[in-house]
Amino acid sequence: MYALALDSGNNIYVTGGTFSSYDAGGVGFPVTDSANQGYLMGSQDAFVTKIGTNNKILYSSYLGGEEDDCGLGIAVTSTTEGIKTFVTGYSLNLPDALIPFPLVGAELNGQGWYDAFLTVFNSNMGIEGSTMMGGANDDVGCSVSTNASGTQWWIAGVTYSADFPTVDDVATAGVTANNNFSIGGTGTTDGFIARFVREWRMAPPSATSVVATNTATTPNSTVNPNSGTPLLVQLGQPVTATVQFKDPVVTASTSGIPKPMYLTYQVTDVDGKLYTRDSIALSKGDNSTTFGIPLPVLKVDTLLTLTVSFVNETQSVQMLLTVPQLQDLTFLTDNSGDPVVFTGSSVTGTIVLDRPTVVDTVVTLKSDTTNLNVPAKVVVKKGASTATVKFKANNVTKDMIATVTATLGDTSQTRSILLLSTRKLSITFNPAKVKGGISTVVTVSIGDPIPAGWTQGLMVLLTPTTNPALLPNLPANVVIPAGAGQVTYTAQTTVTTVTTKSATITGDLFGKKGSGILKITP
């Protein structure tokens, strides 16, 4: 803790810096439910805590971005709008920070490595205004003071910046800079004093509504924050938010040059986890602003809340982010549903999702063997729920079982494919010549045994190609069991009274064909 102040009711306000994360069990830094920031964003964040006369914590919140922040000065005063709290300190404010220091009605970023900040809280401890100031080097706000009405406030600090803003060179809005000055010598470090004046010429515009538009499916539809119906958004789908204002935006000016105002927005889940936060610049006269919302990449359906803040008002809308799930991976072959492929040939796989996609959706693929060529990914096109892909077997010198895995988000489907080396299908009869009416044993062979791990066996289709009447009970197919290379069955023949005839059977094993001829005598 670095500074404290008292309000008219003798409540204590303190600020400082903390490295402690919040712990709901009471071990970590204390944060109240009303906090503007409920989680530690960087390695160190500033904090603001209000303590009642009974030593009970009335309000406590972190204040900062994803880098180091610390509060060094605090002041409190009563105004016609209620009690106002003013905090200053420093923030490691990097321009490319994903979670920047919270700015409201102010510059988007400072200039240097560390910059001074000034944040103004309203009577409900909501952030009314927040800005940064500084030059190209480090700048630190050490203390803050305000007049009785809360319409002017001063911060004093230390600067290492030769280009620290002086006179009318500080750009703010909503909290307007005026009559700022810096006095220093030629050393590496100078002190500074900056005076800020609240702009009272016109009441600040307020956000009256926030609507989110699902541009990919219903470009003309909007969701009102009071409708109670979340906007349905699928992973990867663009979302646009529109904020409207009661009155045209009024901007501050410095030496006659307009300076932008800023609104801030954030996306959180039901547990308060922050995924996105950013600021949007507004120009003088704007009645509304529209901007894209970058949504997080999640693995499960998640209810998100978009909250937009402008000056001292906020609006929110809920969005249900849905994530397609991988439902199945199936295979098609020439003559059955069994995923079997010979070396040099291909088998077709089908990716099946649990719903049609609203954007192109990428499913990743991999195989556990290089003998089966598998593309790294397959794209399920917008509006579809399936996609097909070919897998090719190469250089298979010995039968093997390949495993293919398809993955989308946190769902995966794994299927096995039997890869067969070059085989010759043969059909023989024993005896090969019988008298009509006598049975014979038919052997369907594929040579080497099927790998024992392939529990489905292999189906061979059978077709009579000459004199089918001589083999009246020919089965449509036979199955060679796992671990075997052939299968036998007994075929009954019919009587022929004229002359010796031939009956031919043709087998088909996934495109591999073989035939056998049986002689039947009178």
pLDDT band, residue 228 (cuts 50/70/90):
low
Residue type, 76: V
Q: Supply the pLDDT for residue 169.
A: 40
Q: Rounded to an integer, what distance in angstroms lies between the CA atom of residue 119 and that of residue 142? A: 13
Share above pLDDT 70 across residues of the chain, in percent, rounded to a whole number = 81
All residues at 6 or more sequence positions from 177 whose CB lies less than 8 Å from its CB, including other chains: 133, 168, 170, 171, 194, 196, 197, 252, 254
Whether 175 and 187 have beta carbons less than 8 Å apart is answered as no
Q: Supply the pLDDT for residue 167.
A: 54
- CATH value of 426-521 in 3.40.50.2000, 3.40.50.10800, 3.30.300.30, 2.60.40.10: 2.60.40.10
| CATH superfamily for domain 326-420 | Immunoglobulins (2.60.40.10)
Q: Supply the pLDDT for residue 222.
A: 40
pLDDT band, residue 233 (cuts 50/70/90):
confident
Where is pLDDT greater, at 57 or 112?
57
Q: What is the CA radius of gyration of the chain?
A: 38
pLDDT band, residue 206 (cuts 50/70/90):
very low
| 26, pLDDT greater than 70 | no
Q: Supply the pLDDT for residue 312.
A: 59
pLDDT band, residue 129 (cuts 50/70/90):
confident
CATH classification of 207-322 is 1.10.20.10, yes or no? no
- The dihedral sign for the CA sequence 107, 108, 112, 113: positive
Q: Supply the pLDDT for residue 254.
A: 42
Give the count of beta carbons closer than 10 Å to the beta carbon of residue 33: 7
> What does the pLDDT look like over 378-391, one tens digit per residue?
999 988 999 999 99
pLDDT band, residue 522 (cuts 50/70/90):
confident
| 246, pLDDT greater than 70 | no
Whether 409 and 491 have beta carbons less than 8 Å apart is answered as no
Q: Supply the pLDDT for residue 182.
A: 40
Helix (H, G, I), strand (E, B) or coil at 429: strand
> What does the pLDDT look like over 464-504, one tens digit per residue?
999 888 988 889 999 998 889 999 999 999 987 778 889 99
| 75, pLDDT greater than 70 | yes
Where is pLDDT greater, at 29 or 171?
29
Range with the poorest average pLDDT among 116-120, 250-254, 309-313, 373-377: 250-254
Asked whether the bond before 431 is cis by omega within 30 degrees of 0, the reply is yes
Q: Supply the pLDDT for residue 370.
A: 93
Q: Supply the pLDDT for residue 281.
A: 79
Find the mean pLDDT for residues 194-198: 72
Where is pLDDT greater, at 7 or 289?
7
Residue type, 213: T
> What does the pLDDT look like over 90-122, one tens digit per residue?
998 665 677 788 877 654 456 678 899 999 898
Range with the poorest average pLDDT among 4-8, 46-50, 292-296: 292-296
pLDDT band, residue 175 (cuts 50/70/90):
very low
Q: Supply the pLDDT for residue 295.
A: 82
Residue type, 419: L
Identity of the highest mean pLDDT range in 180-189, 349-358, 439-448: 439-448
| Residue labelled with tokens 């220093």 | 184
Range with the poorest average pLDDT among 150-159, 240-249, 260-269: 240-249
Max distance between CA atoms of the chain, in angstroms, equals 128
Whether 296 and 89 have beta carbons less than 8 Å apart is answered as no
Using CA atoms, how far residue 15 sits from 28, 45, 88, 91, in Å, is: 17, 10, 9, 14
Mean pLDDT computed over every residue of the chain:
80
Q: Supply the pLDDT for residue 511.
A: 81
Identity of the highest mean pLDDT range in 12-21, 295-304, 446-455: 12-21
Residue extents of the structural domains in the chain: 3-198, 207-322, 326-420, 426-521
Q: Do domains 326-420 and 426-521 have the same CATH topology?
A: yes
| 139, pLDDT greater than 60 | yes
Q: Supply the pLDDT for residue 441.
A: 95
